[in-house]
A = this chain, B = another copy of it.
Amino acid sequence: MSSATAASPLARLALRFRQVRRQTLDLCKPLTPEDMMVQSCPEASPAKWHLAHTAWFFESFILREFAPGYQPFHPDFHWLFNSYYRSFAAFPEKRLRASFSRPGLDAILHYRAHVDAAIDRLMDSEPPAEALARIELGVHHEEQHQELLLTDILNAFHANPLRPAYQPTQSASTHAAVKLMRFLPFPGGLVACGHTGSGFCFDNELPRHKVWLEPFTLASRLVTNGEYAEFIADGGYRRSELWLSAGWDAVEQSGWRSPLYWTEHDGHWTLFTLRGALPLEQAANAPVAHISYFEADAYARWAGHRLPTEFEWEIASAGAPIRGNLLGADLDACTLAPQPSAVPHPTESAAQQIFGDCWEWTASAYLGYPGFQPLPGSLGEYNGKFMSGQMVLRGGSCVTPAAHIRATYRNFFAPETRWQFSGIRLAEM
Question: Is A105's CB within 8 Å of the partner chain B?
Answer: yes
A363 to chain B, nearest CB (A): 7
Within 75-97 of A, Cβ neighbours of B (below 8 Å) are at 76, 79-80, 84, 86-87, 92, 96
Q: Which residues of B contact A104 (CB under 8 A)?
A: 32, 34
Q: Which residues of B contact A190 (CB under 8 A)?
A: 190, 212
Q: Do B101 and A161 touch (CB < 8 A)?
A: no
Partner-binding segment picked from A11-19, A168-176, A244-252, A347-355: A244-252
Q: Which residues of B contact A34 (CB under 8 A)?
A: 33-34, 36-37, 48, 101-102, 104-105
Q: Do B96 and A159 touch (CB < 8 A)?
A: yes
A240 contact from B40, B86, B246, B389, Cβ within 8 A: B86
Q: Which residues of B contact A244 (CB under 8 A)?
A: 385-388
A110 to chain B, nearest CB (A): 15
A310 to chain B, nearest CB (A): 11
Q: Do A370 and B214 touch (CB < 8 A)?
A: yes
Q: Do A35 and B247 touch (CB < 8 A)?
A: no
Q: Which residues of B contact A100 (CB under 8 A)?
A: 160, 162
Q: Do A87 and B37 touch (CB < 8 A)?
A: no
A356 to chain B, nearest CB (A): 27
Question: In the bound complex, how far is the Cα of B89 from the Cα of A240, in angstroms?
Answer: 12
Q: List 21 A-B contacts (CB under 8 A).
A: A33-B33, A37-B38, A37-B101, A38-B98, A38-B99, A40-B99, A79-B161, A80-B162, A84-B245, A86-B241, A96-B161, A99-B156, A99-B160, A102-B160, A190-B190, A210-B212, A241-B381, A244-B385, A244-B388, A247-B388, A371-B429
Question: Is A243's CB within 8 Å of the partner chain B?
Answer: yes
The oligomer's copy count stands at 4
Question: Is A182's CB within 8 Å of the partner chain B?
Answer: no
Q: From A372, which residue of chain B is reached at the shortest CB distance?
A: B306
Show the binding face of A for B, using Cβ within 8 Å: 32-40, 48, 76, 79-80, 84, 86-87, 92, 96, 98-105, 156, 159-162, 164, 190, 209-214, 240-241, 243-248, 293-294, 297, 309, 363-365, 367-368, 370-371, 381, 385-389, 415, 429
Question: In the bound complex, how far is the Cα of B389 from the Cα of A294, in angstroms?
Answer: 11
**A240-B87, A388-B293, A389-B246 are contacts. A164–B32 as well, Cβ < 8 Å?**
no
A309 to chain B, nearest CB (A): 8
Q: Do B388 and A92 touch (CB < 8 A)?
A: no
- Beyond A34-B37, A102-B162, A246-B386, 6 additional contacts (C-beta under 8 Å) are A37-B37, A92-B161, A96-B161, A101-B160, A244-B388, A246-B388
Q: Which residues of B contact A209 (CB under 8 A)?
A: 214
Which 10 residue pairs of A and B lie closest in terms of their CB atoms, listed nearest first? Answer: A365-B365, A99-B159, A37-B37, A34-B101, A35-B101, A86-B240, A245-B385, A210-B212, A212-B212, A102-B164
Q: Which residues of B contact A96 (CB under 8 A)?
A: 159-161
Q: Which residues of B contact A76 (CB under 8 A)?
A: 161-162
Q: Which residues of B contact A105 (CB under 8 A)?
A: 34
Question: In the bound complex, how far is the Cα of B79 from the Cα of A176, in angstroms?
Answer: 38
A51 to chain B, nearest CB (A): 13
A160 to chain B, nearest CB (A): 5
Q: Do B363 and A367 touch (CB < 8 A)?
A: yes
Q: Which residues of B contact A102 (CB under 8 A)?
A: 32, 34-35, 160, 162, 164
Q: Which residues of B contact A429 (CB under 8 A)?
A: 371
Question: In the bound complex, how far is the Cα of B248 from the Cα of A156, in angstroms?
Answer: 29
Which of A160, A240, A386: most chain B Cβ within 10 A? A160
Question: In the bound complex, how far is the Cα of B109 from the Cα of A34, in angstroms?
Answer: 15
Question: In the bound complex, how far is the Cα of B213 from the Cα of A415, in angstroms?
Answer: 27
Question: In the bound complex, how far is the Cα of B387 from the Cα of A365, in angstroms?
Answer: 10
A161 to chain B, nearest CB (A): 5
Q: From A373, which residue of chain B is reached at the shortest CB distance?
A: B429
A90 to chain B, nearest CB (A): 10
A189 to chain B, nearest CB (A): 10
A80 contact from B92, B161, B367, Cβ within 8 A: B161
